[in-house]
Structure 1
Amino acid sequence: MSQKVKVAVLGASGYSGIELLRLLLRHPHATLVAVTSRTLAGKALSDEFPRFRQVGVSDTLTFTAPDVASLKQSGAEIAFLALPHGVSVEYAKPLLEAGIKVIDLSADFRLRSAEVYKEFYAHEHPAPELLDEAVYALPEIRAEEIKKARLIACPGCYPTSILLPLIPLLKAGLLAEDPLAVSSMSGASGAGRNASIPLLFCEVQNSLRSYSVPQHRHLSEVGQELSLAAGMPVKLSFVPHLVPVYAGICTTTFATPKEGVTVEQVEAVLKEAYADQPFIRLLGKNQSPDTKHVMGTNFVDIGWALDARAGRLILMSAEDNIGKGASSQAIQNMNLVCGFDPAAGLMSV
């Protein structure tokens, strides 16, 4: 890749797509050459999103319908797929065949098993032959694989908040085999930008509710990645909640430490795992992360506590579901693929 990579965004009209545009338009090493949206085709980017006026190339770009031949002609080297689940896969294969690397924000390539995909997404996987090639791209865990990949599957928002505190502890063997319990809260933007009565302001405001219990789709990728880290099957219960805010995820995980494990050991393992990771902020023992401190950033704040009376380890994390849970993490992966500084274009607070 050159020092200035040409990129395209497919599905640029959703919340994740808009955040991708915001980050790419000011990225020091990226040039936005194409933006697609079936609903906005023919409209000028800066007219549809006035906040981008006079920012980078926004005043010269027009939305087009997604077409692989046109994207190839634009010179795009990397395509971000900010498309719904089940739609990204339609474009990934022809884009790869055209020599364009793919960074997918949907769930289409996160799972290694086509059977598990069918179980959680209720239809056959359209391109199972690509599942072995796709890299589940949690950059703090798989940087070396990401650097060599041409098909990158960005983790889901909830999984990112769950996996980052747990994976180092499972790898270090600090946790017992008891099932994990995870409770997460997310802002309404996590459901996307489509009109939906349950997500109307009057429905969400002054309300708090759980949903997709007991089998949220993200449970599949969380279980997959935790089991890989532990080297054995890991069981967990996961309960997501919708809270009346625009964005942000706050996750609390309850785990059983092995006998004799101390909170100091937990801290030492997390510090060793993330010592060189610019976007992991370890808050310390008994420190509770707050979503207001990560909004609009690529940071994940992590705290932990040991409840000696209950014999439970409590792990806490906060992130921006549109940022580290989607678009800014995708940019972080692009930086790795292109050999840029992993923090390039992402250090705003």
Structure 2
Amino acid sequence: ACAAAGLACAGPSRAAAALEGSKAFTKSVADAAGIPTARYEHFTDAEAASEFVRRRGAPIVVKADGLAAGKGVVVAESVEEALAAIDMMMRAGGLGASGAEVVIEECLTGREVSLFALCDGLDAVLVGAAQDHKRIGEGDTGPNTGGMGALCPPAGFDRAAQEAAVDVFVRPALAEMVRRGTPFRGVLFVGLMLTEQGPKLIEYNVRFGDPEAQVLLPRLTSDLLAAFAAMSEGRLSEVEFSFADIASVGVVIAGRGYPGAPAKGGVIEGIARAEAIDGVQVFQAATKQVGDVLVGDGGRVLTVCAQRPDLRAARDAAYTAVAEITWADGVFRRDIALKALDAA
């Protein structure tokens, strides 16, 4: 609609957004473009999906084909868990139309990173990378979420490795989208697993990730709006992103019960105290003003971010800021960025 009205756009068309909107579509693009990804099968029938899981065994990953607010992926450690996920998605309709079809794929092991590129349909420019923490529980336990915290930059995935990943995972996908008549323009999020056999594609999103954007963009020293304008005007070759040589850590505070039914209505205090700490930002998502007070109103409610010269200092500052916030219904992981520090 914006393009039809002559307005410059920094996002994809509805058709191109299928790169995020359909796991099966993403897999078909990866197959056609020769992009490394997990072995998989696509199912529209629950019994066929269940039989496949019984034959393959576990661990195995069950993904709802459509959008599910970050909760449509089950990394099943047992056959029973995978079958329950199929039942929930395909038979019980727990995710609505998004779960009517599923992709079932091998369980990749390694370290997960998120890569971002700005695309004009034909080419791409690297923005940067971050590392998310998907599971609800400490030690990467429990169900997947939209993300419980993030760090930037990710250790062991430097700028050269990121540029190489753009060549493997972004440019071939753009060429395949052009071949299909649906060129992709906008920010492409590339979820990667760094396996022993090399990086493999987990997913595409057609936007900056949450909470990855909250740790990536505060480090940005170049003009993001100018980059979007250059992309929309066909001047992508002029774009180069630059970042401050600092680390950034973000901790998500969610409503108790998330990723199921989160507690709502509890009063949140202390955000101003947290933001008074130098280099700290508190990003509000599912909050609501009720009279003179702020209350939680959803799943992932706040992301508390801090930037410092190194990762340990950034992590310490983020958790110092979290401690300033009082919210009886709030839950958060206490181990964000800890694994990265232990590996350093």
> Normalization by structure 2: what TM-score?
0.25
Pick the structure with more strand per residue.
2
More helix by proportion, 1 or 2?
Answer: 1
TM-score (norm 1): 0.25
